[in-house]
Structure 1
Amino acid sequence: MGYVDTAKHDRRARPAIVSRRKCGNLFVIGRQPGRVGYIAIAAGVFLLLACSWWLASGLGLVSPIFLPTPQAVGLRLSKLAADGTLWADLKVSLYRIAIAFLVSSLMSIVIGVLAGCYGFWKASFEPLVDFVRYMPVVAFVPLSILWSGTGDFQKFLIIWLGTFFQQVLMVMDAVKRVPADFIGLGRTLGMADRRILLKIVLPSAFPGIWDALRISLGWAWTWLVLAELVASTSGLGYRITVSQRFFQTDTIIGYILLLGVLGLVTDQAMRAAEKILFRYNRRRP
């Protein structure tokens, strides 16, 4: 029986074991891929969807009236951009969502912080917010038109209704998650309630509040399109409605993709801003 160099055998087997472990890390609870790996996986998913779309439309598996090719959608968007239609629609929609989301966010932060800190304000606002937030925003569209017409204020109102009440609850939750020990330390140091609120509660809660605003921004885009789909004469949602009447599926899909890109850009912008504004927060995304 010959001698077997077990050390040499282990050295040969170890790289394969390590390689398997590295690959398996992606399927372990709590493990996250590196930045390059994350981008590669995400890009791969988008590429897979684009290829599926190209094959389904390019091979004639789906009629162009229902699913035009990516080339047709790209050409249509280029044409709309060249004649200024795309930029006009984009400008109007960005203006509407910026104003409505800013007003909703400021109001929700003030009310949410007060309700999260003080029992009186919690009893005043939380039951009302819980009551209203279960009312479907779509049902308010006819009322909002009766109340304010079909101008920009009606679009502001729909976006506000769809985001404000959800934001208030999330801001309250962010404030409630501030450790009680932090507040107790402030009282031990003899700080007044106002200083505890400004120096302890708000800095501790603002990363969570910012994350809540980032999530609610996605809802705001949805309510913007809803508001522009009904009784509107401008905006991205209006253009989708007009295109549906004339069976311009390429325009509809192009605008839907554009909305997705806008949402992704604004989401990533807020993520980047969070890292700059709240460097003291060590929470991982």
Structure 2
Amino acid sequence: MLVDAKPRAPSRQCGRAPPRWLALGRPVSGRARLALGAASILLTLAAYASLAGRDGVNSVVVPTLGSVARAAADALVAEEFWIDVEHSFLRVTAGFVAAAVLAVPLGVLAGAFRSVAALLEPPTEFLRYVPVPALIPLVMIVAGIGEGAKVLLVFLGTFFQLLLMTADEVRRVPAPLVQISQSLGATRREIVWRVMAPAALPGIWSALRMCNGWAWSYVVVAELVAATEGLGFRILRFYRFIQTPSIYAYLAVLGLLGLGLDWVFRAAHRRLFRWAPGGGP
């Protein structure tokens, strides 16, 4: 019996192939990503502008883009705005760095040794589900209402999450890498700090990037309660005087600060971990 070796045309039941830009797992070029991002921002602004200009829409709740832009322009030339940004940035940085310095080494140990994980993870899992705003009264009792209280809230909001995320990244280190190190005569300390920790560092860096974003939300909550300067304090003050355009302007500033810091973390990841998946230029 002869068999027809000619390939058959694909059945119409399978449907047409999707466009190249919709193919699953297909990478997107830098220009295409930039164009799509700009289009999404423009569509969002257009939708907001159309909503703000409609009859029956409360202008206090949904101010026009023009009023928000004027409020942002006024803020940029005001000295108090830059003071607010400076104080919020320093509080976030202090609490975040303190959390990272303590949580990353403990997370590495918890990921490398099951006994350490059994000791640290149960209370950490419990405490990470306690909402940070619920800790504000206790923190104010312990640390007062000064700068230490705000830094402590940022620390508490990021430390427990970062410890668990670091431990998970260390556990993802391939077992053959550890076995080869053992066969070459490496000690346990060398395996943990010279093999497992460096191998997990790209994932730990991504965890740091995510926790830095959360730290900004925690510092704003802290500044809403007890502060005389800061982005959160200023937003609360705008609320008291029903200055909605200024609230939107400050929220936009928070978003831009977050995007800028996220870009810095991503750029550093590409430069520091060219060998890791997702690294490179």
| Superposition TM-score, scaled by structure 2 size | 0.90
Query: Does the 8 Å CA contact 2:270/2:279 hold for their aligned counterparts?
Result: no
| Of 132, 152, 157, the match for 1:137 | 132
Report SS of the residue matched to 1:71: helix
* Residues 73-112 of structure 1, C-alpha deviations (whole Å, 9 max, x = no match): 1211221222212111101000100111111111110110
Q: Say whether residues 1:185 and 2:212 are aligned partners.
A: no
Look up the match of 2:234. Answer: 239
Q: CA deviation at 1:63?
A: 2.6
Q: CA deviation at 1:172?
A: 0.3
Look up the match of 1:161. Answer: 156
Q: Which amino acid aligns with 2:138?
A: L
Look up the match of 1:10. Answer: none
Look up the match of 1:82. Answer: 77
Look up the match of 2:5. Answer: none
Look up the match of 2:278. Answer: 283
* In structure 2, C-alpha distance between the alignment counterparts of 1:63 and 1:134, rounded to whole Å: 37
Report SS of the residue matched to 2:242: coil
Q: Which amino acid aligns with 1:84?
A: E
| Of 22, 27, 31, the match for 1:32 | 27
Does 265-274 or 157-166 show the bigger shift? 157-166
| Of 223, 229, 239, the match for 1:228 | 223
Q: Which amino acid aligns with 2:148?
A: F
Q: Say whether residues 1:204 and 2:199 are aligned partners.
A: yes
Q: CA deviation at 1:33?
A: 2.1
Query: Does the 8 Å CA contact 2:153/2:219 hold for their aligned counterparts?
Result: yes
* In structure 2, C-alpha distance between the alignment counterparts of 1:37 and 1:77, rounded to whole Å: 30
* In structure 1, C-alpha distance between the alignment counterparts of 2:110 and 2:237, rounded to whole Å: 43
Report SS of the residue matched to 1:141: helix
Q: Which amino acid aligns with 1:56?
A: L
Q: Which amino acid aligns with 1:122?
A: A
Q: Say whether residues 1:127 and 2:122 are aligned partners.
A: yes
Look up the match of 2:209. Answer: 214
Query: Does the 8 Å CA contact 1:77/1:86 hold for their aligned counterparts?
Result: no
Look up the match of 2:59. Answer: 64
Report SS of the residue matched to 1:242: helix
Look up the match of 1:95. Answer: 90
* In structure 1, C-alpha distance between the alignment counterparts of 2:215 and 2:53, rounded to whole Å: 34
Query: Does the 8 Å CA contact 2:172/2:200 hold for their aligned counterparts?
Result: yes
Look up the match of 2:250. Answer: 255
| Superposition TM-score, scaled by structure 1 size | 0.88
Query: Does the 8 Å CA contact 2:271/2:279 hold for their aligned counterparts?
Result: no
Q: Which has the higher helix share?
A: 1
* In structure 1, C-alpha distance between the alignment counterparts of 2:56 and 2:65, rounded to whole Å: 14
Q: CA deviation at 1:36?
A: 1.2
Q: Which amino acid aligns with 1:190?
A: G
Look up the match of 2:68. Answer: 73
Query: Does the 8 Å CA contact 2:219/2:232 hold for their aligned counterparts?
Result: yes
Report SS of the residue matched to 1:195: helix
Give the 3 Å change call, closer, same or farther, for CA 90–56 of structure 1 in structure 2. Answer: same
Q: CA deviation at 1:201?
A: 0.9
Q: CA deviation at 1:59?
A: 4.5
* In structure 1, C-alpha distance between the alignment counterparts of 2:90 and 2:55, rounded to whole Å: 40
| Of 98, 107, 116, the match for 1:112 | 107
**Structure 2: runs of 5 or more not aligned:** 1-15
Q: CA deviation at 1:60?
A: 4.6
> CA-atom RMSD, angstroms?
1.7
* In structure 2, C-alpha distance between the alignment counterparts of 1:269 and 1:61, rounded to whole Å: 42
* Residues 188-208 of structure 1, C-alpha deviations (whole Å, 9 max, x = no match): 011112222232112210000
Q: CA deviation at 1:263?
A: 0.6
Look up the match of 1:266. Answer: 261
Look up the match of 2:10. Answer: none
Q: Which amino acid aligns with 1:185?
A: I
Report SS of the residue matched to 1:283: coil
Identity of aligned residues (%): 37
Q: Which amino acid aligns with 2:70?
A: L
| Of 43, 46, 60, the match for 1:48 | 43
